[in-house]
Amino acid sequence: DIQMTQSPSSLSASVGDRVTITCRASQSINNYLNWYQQKPGNAPKLLIYEASTLQTGVPSRFSASGSGTDFTLTISSLQPEDFATYYCLHQYTIPAWTFGQGTKVEIK
Amino acid sequence: QVTLRESGPALVKPTQSVTLTCTFSGFSLSTSGMCVSWIRQPPGKALEWLARIHWDDSKYYDTSLKTRLTISKDNSKNQVVVTMTNMDPVDTATYYCARTRGYSNGFDYWGQGALVTVSS
């Protein structure tokens, strides 16, 4: 199965900071990569699909890029509501899809 | 609008099986490209994809859990059911169902999740 490795596992940042999270696949997944945001007690929310396409309604401060094995999620100016845990997910293969282990973004 | 809701027992004993039902509205799982997955999250831990079923009844499972999982759908009831056998305390988690349109568009709608605790 394809493994997804996120880094860092956690980070501390201030409001207004630029934040970048990385996800690396154990083999090429083309652009079959999504990003999700999860706040405590809530279901995850889709932010980005197909590596770089912003889901409808998601603020433009979120952006993502990558293809093949290396992907990044960037928050251009961190807002108070962005403190959450972020997950990547690949949808490349049959049968299994796999999440990364998550990146917790905390307030500095 | 699209909604999904998980239901099932909140408490199961070790070695028992658990059956969870995802009841959805706002879309049809007989529509080309539609897919519903089950995902779980142990308390304080990461998300784990478990299984999915597509509009054409094709089914796929997590490699490490496939011997314990069975997924099915009932288009007339707008339901997707997953059964997991031989439950263990490590299977304690919130279980979510979520919808995908196509094979790469991500889980755009999620249920609120159902906590299943495995304990004697």
Question: Which of B39, B104, B111 comes nearest A49 by C-beta?
Answer: B104
Q: Which residues in chain A (30-69) have CB-CB distances under 8 A to chain B?
A: 31-32, 34, 36, 38, 43-46, 48-50, 55
B102 has a pLDDT exceeding 90: no
Nearest to A88 by CA among A41, A20, A42: A20
Other residues' Cβ atoms within 10 Å of the Cβ of residue A70: 13
B24 to chain A: which residues are within 8 Å by CB?
none
CB contact under 8 A, B63 and A38: no
Average pLDDT of the segment spanning A85-95: 91
CB contact under 8 A, A95 and B61: yes
Per-residue model confidence (pLDDT) at position B100: 96
Spell B73-93 as b/e; 16+ CB within 10 A means b. beeeebbbbbebeebeeebbb
- Chain A and chain B share a number of CB contacts under 8 A equal to 67
Whether the CB of A98 is below 8 Å from some CB of chain B: the reply is: yes
pLDDT band for position A93 (50/70/90)? confident
- Give Dmax (Cα) for chain B: 43
Other residues' Cβ atoms within 10 Å of the Cβ of residue A65: 13
Residue B95: closest CA among chain A residues belongs to which residue? A43
Q: Which residues touch B15 (CB under 8 Å, ≥6 apart)? A: B86, B87
Q: Which amino acid is at B19?
A: T
Average pLDDT of the segment spanning A9-26: 97
B111 to chain A: which residues are within 8 Å by CB?
43
Render pLDDT for B18-52 as a digit per residue (tens, 0 to 9): 999 999 999 999 999 999 999 999 999 999 999 99
CB contact under 8 A, A34 and B37: no
Render pLDDT for B40-95 as a digit per residue (tens, 0 to 9): 999 999 999 999 999 999 999 999 999 999 999 999 999 999 999 999 999 999 99
Residue B113: closest CA among chain A residues belongs to which residue? A43
> Is the Cβ–Cβ distance between A45 and A29 less than 8 Å?
no
Label the pairing between strands B11-12 and B114-118. Answer: parallel
Average pLDDT of the segment spanning A10-39: 97
- CA distance linking residue B119 with residue B91, whole number of Å: 10
Render pLDDT for A26-81 as a digit per residue (tens, 0 to 9): 999 999 999 999 999 999 999 999 999 999 999 999 999 999 999 999 999 999 99
Per-residue model confidence (pLDDT) at position B52: 97
A103 has a pLDDT exceeding 80: yes
Residue A53: closest CA among chain B residues belongs to which residue? B105
A88 has a pLDDT exceeding 90: yes
- CA distance linking residue A75 with residue B14, whole number of Å: 43
DSSP string over chain A: ---EEEE-SEEEE-TT--EEEEEEESS--TT-EEEEEE-TTS--EEEEETTTEEPTT--TTEEEEEETTEEEEEESS--GGG-SEEEEEE--SSS--EE---EEEEE-
Per-residue model confidence (pLDDT) at position A108: 87
